[in-house]
Structure 1
C-alpha cells in the first residue's frame, strides 16, 4: 500500500512537470510560466533595475547654474558598446559564470533567464504574457549600461512580435530615446510623432505615457537645436505632473531656455509657477526661487524677493541650499547698492558651502565688489581663490577665462605695488643717517621683544590651562555646582574658547599638541634661546642688510621707476582708474632720471588729465611734448587726433629692424636672432613693437633650446603682454606644449 502511494505521488509530480512544459499550450502551462516569470525571475530583475536607478539618482549631481539635461544621466561616449547580437529571442551568448558588475547587469541577467527558461513560443506565437515585459527590462537595462545597439534590438523585437502588448507605447518611447543616444534623432522624432498624433492613440494613451513621449521628443529636438520645438514639448511634458520629478525638471529647463533667449517675462512666469507648485519636489522649488531672483527686474520687486529668501533660509529643510540662497541674497543687496550687506551674505555663502563650483561664484562676487571699490589687492586675492578651486572641467568657461584675464592685470598690479613699497622702505632707510637707522631698529627690536614675551606668557598659560583641564577643574556656579565639567555649560563654553585661543583648531589625534607646532615647553625654550643667542635682537643684523653700494641703490631706484610707470599704465588702460594712474605717473615724473621715459610719461599724463577733464594740466603736458619732441609720433597724434597716420609714411627704424630679425628667424638662424634682439632691446623699450620682438625671441629660443627654456620665454610674453595679441598667442602655445 505504501509503495502504491509513493508511485502515485511520483506519477503526479511527473505529470504536473510534463504538463508545464514550455512546448505545451495548456492553461496550466501558460499560468505556471507566467506566474513564475512575473513573481520570481522578473521580480528580482525589476528590483535590481530599481536599485540601479536609485544609484544613478543619488550619485548624479545637477549643476543648476547651467541648463539641466532633460534626462538626469551622463553617458561617457567612449564606453558605448555595440556587440553583435543576432537573435534577441534565442541567442544571448551570455557567460553565465561572469558575475554582474552593476544592478543593471543583474537585471539583464534576470531578463535573459526569464526569456530562456519561460518563453513559450509555439508556432510563432508567444503564449507567456510576461515575456514582453522581460524584453522591455532587457532593453532598458542595456540602455543604462550604454549598450544602445543591443537595447535597440530588444525594443524592436517587442514592437515586431508583440504589436498589441499593453506596453507597446512605452517600448516605442524607449526605442526613440535610444535612437537619440546613437544620434538618430530624425527617426526618433518620426516614430514619436506617429505615436502622439495617431487618432487611435489619442484616447488610449495615458497621461504618464504622454509625459514620457513629450519628454523624449524634447530630447530629440534639443539634439537638432530646434529650440521652439523643445519649448513646445517641454511645456506639454510638464502639464500633468504624473512623474513629479521629471515634470518639475521639464518645467525648470523650460524656464532656463526662456532666460537664455532673454524672454524674462516668460522665464519669471514659469519659475513662479514651479516655485509655488504643490507637487514639485523641494529642490526644484528652491532653485526656481533662485532663478526668479536671477531674472527679476531691478525694481521694487527686489524687496519681495529678499523677504522670500529670508523665509527660505529660516526653513531648516533648506540647509542644503544655504550657500546658493545666501549668494543670491548677496546679489539682490548688491543690485540695490547695499555693498556691506552683499559682502556679508557672500561670506555666509562661503561659510556654508561645500561645493567648490558655488564657491567660485561667491569669491567672484566679493572680488567684483572690492574691484569696484578700487581695492585691487583684495579683489585680486578673491580672484586668485576662484582660480585655485576651479576644476579642469570648468577651466574653459567664458566666465573663468574672463576672471583669468582680469586677474593677470591685478597680479601685475600687486607685484608692482609690493615692489614700490619694498623699494621705498629700503631707500628710506638708505637716506637716513647712521644714528637715525640705529634708533629705528632699536624701536623695532623692542617691539618684537614685547611680542615674544607675550607669546611666551601665552604658552605658559596654556600649560597651566592644560593641567587644569586634564584634572577636571570645575568652575563654581550656583546653577551647575557639583556637575561634571562637560555638563557645566558655562565652564565648557569658557574652556572651548580658551582652548581655541591658545591652541587654535586642532584635529582629534594623538600628540595633538605637537601636530602643527612644537610643544609649549619646546617653544618656550626656543624663544628663550632666541632672545639670548639669536641675532634678531641685534641692531647690527639689520644695519648690515641696508645697501651701501651706489649701483645697488641706483638699481632700486630704476626698478621703482619702472614699476611706477607700468602701474600707471595698468590703472590708466586696464582699469580706467585715472586718479590712481595720475598719482603714480605724477610721482614718477618727480623721480624719473631716464630720458627715454620722459616723452611717454608726459603723453600718458596728457591723456589722463584730458579724460579727467583737467584742461589746464592737459594743455601743459601737450605744450611740453610739442615743444620738446615736435617730430615724435606722440606730437603728431596730439596735433592731428582725428587724422590717420599717412600709410605711405616712411617705415620707422624699429620696424625695419623687426623685419630684419624676422628674416633671420625664417632663415633658421635662431641663435643669431636671439642675440640680435638682446643687443637691440634697449632701443625698443617704448616701441609699440616690443611685444612682437619678445614673441619672436621666444619662438627662436624654442627652436634651439630646451622645452623648459622655451616655456619660460613664452610665459614671460604671456604675462608681460597679457592684453596684447602676442600675449594671447604665447598663452595658446603654452597650452599646446602642455
Structure 2
C-alpha cells in the first residue's frame, strides 16, 4: 500500500515537473521567435526599407519654382531600378511570416511587404496586405499604420471615394494614434491637399508635421514647402519665417541656397523705403558676384524678378526674368518657369497676347510633362498660338490695303523703311544671341589660374597652358601693347606683334589697311547671309493688289481673319471684350459677308452674359439685318426648329407615299401626292426627286413620245447637273427619230425601271 502511494506521489511530481518544463519551453520558444524576428529578418528588412526610401528621396529632382512635392511620388520607372533592394526587403520580411508565425513582429513584417507592393504599384496585393493587417492583428499601432498606408495608396491612385472612406474610418478609431502614425496621417493629408492646390488645408496639416519630424533633411524640406505655400496664399511674413527656418536647419546645399534667396525675396519690406529696397538689391548683387553661384544665376535672377513682382514693377520683373533665361546653362525647367512667368505678365497685366504667345510657346518647349499644371500651360499656349496666327493674318492684310491706298513714292518710302527695320531686328537678334553666349561663359578667377592651381607644382613660365591663359586675360583687359615703360597708360595704341612700333601713329583718322578692308568684306558677306531670308523690294511690291479681283481677295482674307480672331477670343480665350471689338469691327466693315449673320448672333450671345452691351439691341440688329438666317427665325419663333423638323418629316413622308403609289401603278393617286409636294412645299429637299418622279409618271401615262421627251428636257433644263440628269439623258437617247415619227408609245413607257430613293 505504501509503495502504491509512493508511486502516486512520484507520478504527481513527474507531471508537475513536465508541466513546468513545458511552460518554460513554450516561453523560451516564444522568446526565440520574437528575438529571431525582431533582431534578424525584420531588422534587416526595416533597414533595407529605410535605405530604399532615402535613395528615392536623393534621386528625386525638385522643381523649386513650383511647390515641392511633400511626399516623393511613387513611380515604378524609378523604383524598379531598385529591384534588388525591393527583393531583399521581401525576402527578409517574408521569412518570419513563414517560419516565426507566433512572433509579435509579424504585423510589422506584413506592413513592409505591403509597402514593397505599393512601391511596385502592385495595388491589388498591397491593398490585400494592408487590409489584412488592419483586420487580423490586435496591435493598434500596426492597424493605424495600415490605415495610413491605405490612405497613401488611394491618394496616389486619386480615388476620391476611397480617400474619404479611409479618412472616416481613421476618425472613428478609439485608440489614440502614436506620434509616428500621427505624423504620417498629417503628411498624407498635407500631400493630398497640396496636389489639389488647396494650400490653406495643406498648410494646416504640414504645420503639425514639422513639430513631429525628427529627421533634419525632411524637417527643412517641410519648412521650405510651408514657405512656398504661404507665398502662394499671399502670407508674406509667414513665408519669410518658414524660408528662414528651412535655411537654418537645411543639410543640403541646394535647399539651403534656395531657402536663402527665397527668404530674401519674401523679406518683409516697405517698398517706399529706399534704404530697405537697396539692402535687398545689395544682397542679390552679392550673390550674383559670388563665383560659387555661377551656375545658379538663373535662380537668383528669377527670385529678383519675384521680388519686383511684389512692388509690383512688371517691367523690372520682365527684365530679370529675361536675364534668368539668358544666363541659364542646363536647367531647362528653370528656364521654362522664367518664360512662363514672363508670359503670364504679358497675358494678365499687359494684355499683350502676341508677346504672351511667344513666351508660353517657349515655356512649353522647355518644360516636360512632369511639371505641375503642364497640360493647362500647353492648352493656353495652343490658344495663344491660334490668336497670334489670326492676328498676323489681320495685320498682313491691313498692311496690303494700306499699301494699296498709297501713291508710288509713299509706297517706296514705306517699304524701304520696312526692310531697314527688319534688317536692324535681325542684327539685334544676332547680337543678342552673341551676348547670350558670352553670359554663359564662366569667367576665369584667380583661384582657377594655373599659377595658383594647387594641383600643379610646375613653375608658371614653364607651363604653356598657364602662359596662354595669362596672355588671353592680359589682352582682354589691356589690349595688345608694346613692351615699354608706362604701358598701362590708356592712350597707348594697340599694335601688331609683327609690326614695327615706329610705324604707329596717334592719328585716329589713318587710312584703312588691307586687313580692315578684308574684314569689311567679311562683314558684308556675313550680313548678306543674315538677310538672305528677307523679301526683296520687288517681292513686296508684287504682293500689293492691283486689280479689283485681287483687292476683293485681300478684303475677304481680312474679313475671315477678323472673324476667326473674334472666335478665338470668345471660344478659346474667354475674353469677351476683345471678341466684341473684333465682331463689331467685322459688322461695321463687312456687313454683307457670308459670315455676317453668325457674327451678329455671337454678339447677341455675348450680350446675354456681358453687361457691357445690350442684349435686346443685339437681338433686334440680328433680326432686322439678317431676317432669313436660321438664328433670326429661332429668335422670332422659339419652336422654329421643332416645327421645321416636323415639316421636313411630313415632306419626306409625302414623297415616300407618292413613290410607293407609283410603284403600285396607282398613278393618279401618286400624281395627287406630287402636286401637294411641289405646290405646297416649293424649294424643299425633295423638290428635285418629286419633279423627276413626275417625269416618270408622264412616261407611264402619256401616249406620245414627244410629250415624254418634253418632260425629260424640262427636267434637264431645271437640273442640268442634278441627281438624275444622267438617267434622264439615257432615256432621251432611247427616244429615236423613228419613235418620234411613230408618235405613239405602245403600252406606254414600260421599258425603264428607276429607283428614286
> Normalising by structure 2, what TM-score?
0.47
- The two structures have a TM-score, normalised by structure 1, of 0.48
**Structure number, greater radius of gyration:** 2
